[in-house]
Amino acid sequence: MQHSIILRVQAEAQDRNVPLASILSRARIAARRLALPGVPAWLDKEGDGYEAEDDLPDYRFVAGRHQFFNPVHGCWRPVVHEAGPPLIPLQHSVYDLEELLHNAPAGFLSCPAEPVQFNSYGSVLTFASRFRIENIDVLRALAKVRRLILDWTIALESAGVLGDGTAFTASERTEAYIVTQNFIAQNQSIGVAGNISGGTNNIAPVQSADGGIDIRRVREFLAETSALVGNLPPIVRDDMREAVADAQAEVGKSAPDARKVGKALAVIKDLGMRAGGSVIATGIVEGAKALAP
């Protein structure tokens, strides 16, 4: 197993000399080869960056030391906030953050802020302002990503998911799906296994999609079906594997589309019927029928 991509990612995640961007790229390849829904989503977001409307993980909020530029003295001066330094969201990709740190020899990054106004002897003075973000705070955020990737690969290894190079068996893909869902649920800061509710920061698992489909049961059915695909006739094997992967990608979302899930189940049912009347094929057909709305 010296060529296992999972073990390679794990080893690189422990090596501080390997850029996190490289580790992340290899982790995304492994997730794709395992056909994990969303690739999974947190790897994609870390690699591509977060959109303005995204809910950022807690480790991507860092203290921003507010400063204004004093033109008289030609230097930046602090703006004091009674509640402490504001939290600044880091939406950049891992790649961009590492590049920014590389080009920040002064030990900090900065981002523009709204101009600030001060009253002085009856006059209102306006000054340019910025948020100063210490490099160490950004490094802590990147270290959290590195640790998450390391912990994820350790969980996969413990479940026997190693692969031969970048190739994985059907049983490894099934096990990896279960391991990844559990891992995300246990690491709430990733924020892609469900909705954060209230002030308790608890995951609220998605039980059903609009249309009455029990998503939890569908996930279990798909995991079981994925492990059985290799026993189906070659004429439907590849199509069934693709249909199951597409369905897993949809039910892996925080808000699955019931129409798409229903369509995927219908395709799986039809493929099962084409596979003949074996016990496995019949079980797949009956399982899809029971879950379809």
- pLDDT 10s digits, 223-277: 888 888 888 888 888 888 888 888 888 888 878 888 888 888 888 888 888 888 7
The b/e string for 149-169 (b: 16+ C-beta within 10 A; e otherwise) is bbebbebbbeeebbbeebebe
Do the domain assignments include residue 14? Answer: no
Do the domain assignments include residue 130? Answer: yes
Q: Does 207 have pLDDT greater than 50? A: no
Find the domain containing 125 and state its range: 58-140
Average pLDDT over residues 108-126: 83
Do the domain assignments include residue 44? Answer: no
Do the domain assignments include residue 129? Answer: yes
Q: Give the pLDDT of residue 292.
A: 73
Number of domains in the chain: 1
Do the domain assignments include residue 24? Answer: no
Do the domain assignments include residue 81? Answer: yes
**pLDDT for 127-178, tens place per residue?**
899 999 999 999 999 999 999 999 999 999 999 999 888 889 888 988 898 8
Give me the chain's average pLDDT, please: 83
Do the domain assignments include residue 16? Answer: no
Do the domain assignments include residue 100? Answer: yes
CA distances from 66 to 71, 86, 128, 136, 246 (A): 16, 8, 11, 17, 46
Q: Does 189 have pLDDT greater than 80? A: no
